[in-house]
Chain A
Amino acid sequence: MEKIRLGIIGIGNMGTAHINNILSGKCPEIEVAAVEDINPARLKWAEENLPKSVGIFDDAEAMLDSGLIDSALIAVPHYDHPRYAIDCMRRGIHVMVEKPAGVYTKQVREMNEFAKKSDVVFGMMFNQRTDHIYRKMHQLVHSGELGQIRRTSWIITNWYRPQAYYDSGAWRATWAGEGGGVLLNQCPHNLDLWQWICGMPVKVYAHMHFGKWHDIEVEDDVTAYVEYANGATGTFITSTGDTPGTNRFEILLDKGKLVSENGKLYMWKLEQSEPEFRRTCDRIFAQPKAEFFEVETDGKSEQHVGVLNAFAGAVLRGTPLIANGEEGINGLLISNAMHLSAWLKKEIEIPFDEDLFYRELMKRVKTSRRKQEVKNIVADTSGTYNV
């Protein structure tokens, strides 16, 4: 079977998890051809644990120029995603980028411009788009059978992290290292799914608490309120300080309601569209009739492996990706708008002034705390990525 020859830039927590998936045979069309990291401890790990055929590099450009690979997976800290992606595109190397697409939209636009000019396959690791519940929600909303969206409300507070998590890497939860907190690290999936299923908001108002639950400088508690172009409204509540947290996503539409919680999807389907009922019903205490049921799904959630296999398929056969790389900017537009709203304490319209965002971010980067006593551990977070 033909295989793509994949080079992995960054073999920390995520990069290593991807390697383990591929080496265990879950990605038959992918060969781990080379890896790169700047951390000697990780290189030593690679030498001791990876097959001898795998090229090991301490410099990304050297790996990209080595001729060993035709595709790359970028799993380095967030700020460097666009830079390495552009390096790949320049060389005609297909590229899969870990989420988030970057830290600020300016750099991501540049990446997207390069992608447009090059003819490489460009994918984004939005593995939660493979989840059976979210795929079904996407399908139900986009089929139009439930009419227009009126309210979206996502309580996604099950991203609990104890302090030791933040202490595990110098870059974690710093403006300079990560460029943000729960919105940049944990929530990119949810922000992407939110916009993938419900569309982009036009106005954002966010209440944010920085280092509320942890000794960190970035946000670990967010309540955001948004408006959509059609007048619909939405709320997004997240935190890394709540346990046991909640993952409850509700979408109200003209002809029904969807609620996903506890791995189930519930649907209320109205007999008559609510706006029509509201205007024409002559009874003062009446509601449109609703049929309630649990929605059946195909139950499949291929997660990271599904995203990687779709990437290989796109390279080898031109079949569709799970998430096009260019779409990575959408969730980031929302989180940047949330940060800007919290920093400036006002409502932000999308599109916003991206130079202003960059300046505000850099102010914080300049005074960013460097963490001292960091234990360089590779946490086995394999159970923590999924829904």
Chain B
Amino acid sequence: MEKIRIGIIGYGNIGSVHAQSIASGLIKGLELTAVCDIQECRLNQAKESFPDVGLFADYRELLDSGAVDAVLIATPHYLHPPIAVAAFQKGLHVLIEKPAGVYTRQVKLMNEAAEKSGRVFGIMFNQRTHPLFRQARDMVRTGRLGRPKRLVWIITNWYRTQAYYDSGGWRGTWSGEGGGVLINQAPHNIDLWQWIFGLPSRLRAFCYHGKYHNIEVEDEAAIYAEYKNGATATFLTSTGESPGTNRLEITGDLGKIVIESGKLRFWELAESERSFCFTDRTGTATPPYTYHEFEPQPAGNAHLKILQNFANAILHGEELIAPGHEGINQLQISNAAYLSAWNDSWVDLPVDDDVFFEYLKERIEKSEHKETLSCEPVKLSGYQNRWEIKW
């Protein structure tokens, strides 16, 4: 069987685990042939685990080497787009870790390069594989939930201690990470929000920088968004709350779904609320509904599914679960949320790329990010629980 030779760029927490998954044959059709990291100690660790793969300290050398057909980019956020662009220029397939980048301007360049190359471009939005969110998307997209009215997601279970932010100089800084909970922890949820419910037309956000932690960036955010079709959305997130909550509620004129505690509950109306509202003569009645519950079996590792889907897309033309060019949607929301909070005003979507970048640059320039590359050994013990959906 034909195999795709893949190189991993960025051999850190997640890159090392992806490398292990591929090298141990968990992904049909993928073969690990190269690892790239700027730190020698990391490369030594990779060499110990995978003695036969090519090792590179500079991603450009890896891209030029001819050793790979595809790359998986698991570097710090800012570097996702430039490395992806270079890889597309070499005609390679690309899978990037989330987020797509930090600001929409750089991500647009990446999307253009991807399109021009015609190569497969995926993004690691692994939570899109979860049956509950797939079900929610289906119900919205097929119209079973009716005309969308409201989405409320309380996703405050991204708790982090101060020690977490102190564990890397880049963490919690504008220059290192380019944001806080909206760019590091909640991108999955923001992506699911837009994937299920669509992109809003404007939003108003409140972000609190360093509210609970000694960090530059936001560790609490509240977003209120409006849609052209009249729907509204509220999104609440934080890394300072414990025990947090993960509860997604979506209302349409044919009912309501609530995803919470690993379960989807569905109240299905017998008729559209919109017609009931104007035909009821009692003044006090509510339309009847039937209640359904959906609790899927644990369905295997989500990261592995995205990796397998990426391989299948290259080898067999399978449709991508998370096409790379959709990564910008999450940033449209999070960039707009930052602009809204910084300017204390509404922001229309899509955001003005240049205006956002100017604002971000100011913060990058004042950032106290200290380059402290840590070289603690990576733990090749598989995907960690913290990367799974928490209820």
Contact = CB atoms under 8 A, between A and B. Distances in A.
B249 interface: yes
B249 A246 contact: yes
B1 interface: no
Interface string B231-248: 010101010111101010
B388 to A, nearest CB: 12
Interface in B249-294: 249, 251, 255-256, 258, 267, 269, 273, 276-278, 280-287, 289
A242 B251 contact: yes
A168 B161 contact: no
A231 B283 contact: no
Interface string A239-259: 101111010101010001101
Nearest to B282: A164
A383 B285 CA distance: 10
Interface in A144-200: 150-151, 153, 155, 157, 160-165, 167-168
Contacts of A243: 269, 273, 276, 286-287, 289
A225 B211 CA distance: 17
Given A281-B161, A283-B161, A286-B161, A168 B283 contact: yes
A316 interface: no
B21 to A, nearest CB: 20
B156 A244 contact: no
Given A164-B281, A257-B243, A286-B161, A244 B289 contact: yes
Contacts of A259: 245
A254 to B, nearest CB: 10
A162 B289 contact: no
B163 A284 contact: yes
A324 B120 CA distance: 67
Given A244-B256, A287-B242, A287-B243, A384 B161 contact: no
A282 B165 CA distance: 11
Contacts of B278: 162-163
B363 to A, nearest CB: 22
A275 B234 CA distance: 26
Chain B, interface size: which category? 35 or more
A165 B284 contact: yes
A160 B243 contact: no
Contact of B283 (A209, A239, A379): A379
A290 B243 contact: yes
A379 B249 CA distance: 31
B387 to A, nearest CB: 10
Interface string A214-237: 100000010101000001010101
Contacts of A151: 156, 236, 238, 241
Contact of B242 (A165, A274, A292): A274
A347 B341 CA distance: 13
Given A223-B232, A283-B163, A242 B276 contact: no
B357 interface: no
A92 interface: no
Contacts of B103: none
B27 interface: no
Contacts of B149: 241-242
Contacts of B386: 285
A167 B283 CA distance: 8
A257 B241 CA distance: 10
B240 A278 contact: yes
A17 to B, nearest CB: 13
B164 A285 contact: yes
B197 interface: no
Interface of A: 150-151, 153, 155, 157, 160-165, 167-168, 205, 207, 209, 212-214, 221, 223, 225, 231, 233, 235, 237, 239, 241-244, 246, 248, 250, 252, 256-257, 259, 268, 270, 274-275, 277-279, 281-288, 290, 292, 347, 377, 379-381, 383-384
10 contacts: A150-B240, A223-B232, A241-B277, A243-B273, A243-B286, A244-B256, A244-B289, A259-B245, A278-B161, A283-B163
Given A157-B150, A244-B256, A285-B160, 7 more contacts: A162-B283, A164-B280, A205-B204, A237-B150, A237-B234, A246-B258, A270-B242
Interface of B: 149-150, 152, 154, 156, 159-164, 167, 204, 206, 208, 211-213, 220, 222, 224, 226, 230, 232, 234, 236, 238, 240-243, 245, 247, 249, 251, 255-256, 258, 267, 269, 273, 276-278, 280-287, 289, 344, 384, 386
Nearest 8 Cβ contacts at the A-B interface: A165-B283, A162-B280, A284-B164, A164-B283, A281-B161, A268-B243, A244-B267, A162-B277
